[in-house]
Amino acid sequence: MQGTTAIDFRLTRVASQPARLAAIRYLLADNGLGIDNDIVCFVEAWRDNRLVGCAGLAGNVIKCVAVERALRGENLSAALLAEVEHVALSQGHFHLFLCTRPANQARFSRSGFWPLAVSGEDAVLMENTPTGLARYCRSLRQLRRPGKQIGSIVMNANPFTLGHRHLVELAAAQCDWLHLFVVREDASFFPYQARLEMVQQGVSHLANVTIHEGSRYIISRATFPAYFLKESGKVHQAWSEIDALLFRDAIAPALGITRRFIGSEPFCDITRQYNQTLHHLLTGQIAVHEIPRIKATGSAISASQVRHLLKTGQFPRIREIVPPTTYAHLVAHYGAQAAVA
């Protein structure tokens, strides 16, 4: 590395050192990047009392890698990645991901990251191992079931409603076996373990369903890196495409999945766009079945409606739109007033 002054690497913890974010934001903006709100810490590169590079960490996802323009070509980004990987390892994160523009793929490949899926010219998802996805698919193949019609559902279940149960029951009835994935990231109102348990209890009467704990290869919209995409529409489209491609090209073949079931989306534009992406990218290899939502009290059942009713303590109305198992969970954890409802 040229120059008479060595690079000094420093660690900034976002929660306890917010004043240090101003210089980071300026450097990122100069690189055409924003900053994601879930970043816990940054590795900073300083030279001559000037911030010349940064790399952020959010759990096991590396974000916001930027280098001052004058120092590009000095391999500083590789040094930053090595430093932030060391921080991740110290926090127990060995399997790391990053998402960047495809134009940067070669640079990150030289630092030990391998591409998983690409969304046009907007985004590429990468991980720090050439075998991570293959290992996951090998574990899935252990759970294959015989049959010609093998179905799948991916759900957040925040929380599990009668609408979710209707979708699962209908899909299970149309398939020899159904694989049900519960999105893992704790970015929802209900924590992951609670959502998983509500799903398990809500479908326990179905004999041909395997419930899969979510993996890092089923991408959560809430945690998809967005710092390098200015337009929200591009963020959602990139997330949708990468998630659909990983499912189509890796997860579905591992389990022999032939059908994907989704619920219609009358409320959320983002989820409706996601459904359209599934139709576009899966059709021809995996049949996509979009099932109309069932209604209660005149309107389509939604998990967001349950969350609103829960916040306002309307347990009698909640009872009308969730299975008894979900209702019991909500009563036990959120509502003493529900005992008299």
pTM here is 0.91
**Which conformational region is residue 147 in: left (phi greater than 0), alpha (psi within -120 to 50 degrees), or beta?**
left
DSSP-assigned letters across all residues of 270-331: HHHHHHHHHHHHHTTTSEEEEEPPPEETTEE--HHHHHHHHHTT-HHHHHTTS-HHHHHHHH
Q: Are 261 and 153 in contact (CB under 8 A)?
A: yes
pLDDT score, position 1? 42
Q: Counting Cβ atoms within 10 Å, is residue 75 exposed (0-12), middle (13-18) or buried (19+)? A: middle
**CATH node for 135-340:** 3.40.50.620
Angle at which helices 269-282 and 232-246 cross, to 10°? 40
The helix or strand, by DSSP H or E, that contains position 135, with its residue range, turns out to be: helix 132-141
Instruction: Count the neighbouring beta carbons within 10 Å of the beta carbon of residue 146.
Output: 8
- The 3-state DSSP class for residue 26 equals helix
Q: For residue range 267-285, list pLDDT tens digits in order.
A: 788 889 999 999 999 999 9
φ and ψ at 79, to 5 degrees? -65, -40
HSE-CB of 208 using CA atoms within 13 angstroms = 18
Closest CA to 170 of 244, 251, 264: 264
pLDDT score, position 339? 47
DSSP-assigned letters across all residues of 43-62: EEEEETTEEEEEEEEETTEE
Residue 131 identity:
T
Closest CA to 101 of 128, 72, 122, 125: 122
Is the backbone peptide bond immediately before 159 cis, with ω within 30 degrees of 0? yes
pLDDT tens for each residue of the chain, 341 residues long: 444 578 999 999 999 999 999 999 999 999 999 999 999 999 999 999 999 999 999 999 999 999 998 887 668 889 999 999 999 999 999 999 999 999 999 999 999 999 999 999 999 999 999 999 999 999 999 999 999 999 999 999 999 999 999 999 999 999 999 999 999 887 779 999 999 999 999 999 999 999 999 899 998 887 788 889 888 789 999 999 999 999 999 999 999 999 999 999 887 888 899 999 999 999 999 999 999 999 887 788 999 999 999 999 999 999 999 999 999 999 999 976 544 44
Token pair in block for residue 138: 């090998």
For 319-333, b/e burial (b = at least 16 CB within 10 A) is bebbbebbbebbbee
Instruction: Count the neighbouring beta carbons within 10 Å of the beta carbon of residue 101.
Output: 15
Residue 208 identity:
N
Token pair in block for residue 157: 């279940």
Say which residues have a Cβ less than 8 Å from residue 112's Cβ, sequence separation at least 6. Answer: 81, 128
**CATH node for 8-94:** 3.40.630.30
Question: Residue 208's beta-bridge partner residues?
Answer: none
Residue 40 identity:
V
Say which residues have a Cβ less than 8 Å from residue 78's Cβ, sequence separation at least 6. Answer: 110, 111
Q: For residue range 152-172, list pLDDT tens digits in order.
A: 999 999 999 999 999 999 999
Q: For residue range 181-205, list pLDDT tens digits in order.
A: 999 887 779 999 999 999 999 999 9
Which residue ranges make up each domain of the chain?
8-94, 135-340
Q: Are 227 and 63 in contact (CB under 8 A)?
A: yes
pLDDT score, position 2? 47
CA separation for the pair 129, 144 (Å, rounded): 25
Say which residues have a Cβ less than 8 Å from residue 284's Cβ, sequence separation at least 6. Answer: none
Residue 56 identity:
G
pLDDT score, position 160? 97
φ and ψ at 131, to 5 degrees? -120, 0
Q: How far is CA 210 from the centre of its chain?
A: 21
pLDDT score, position 298? 76
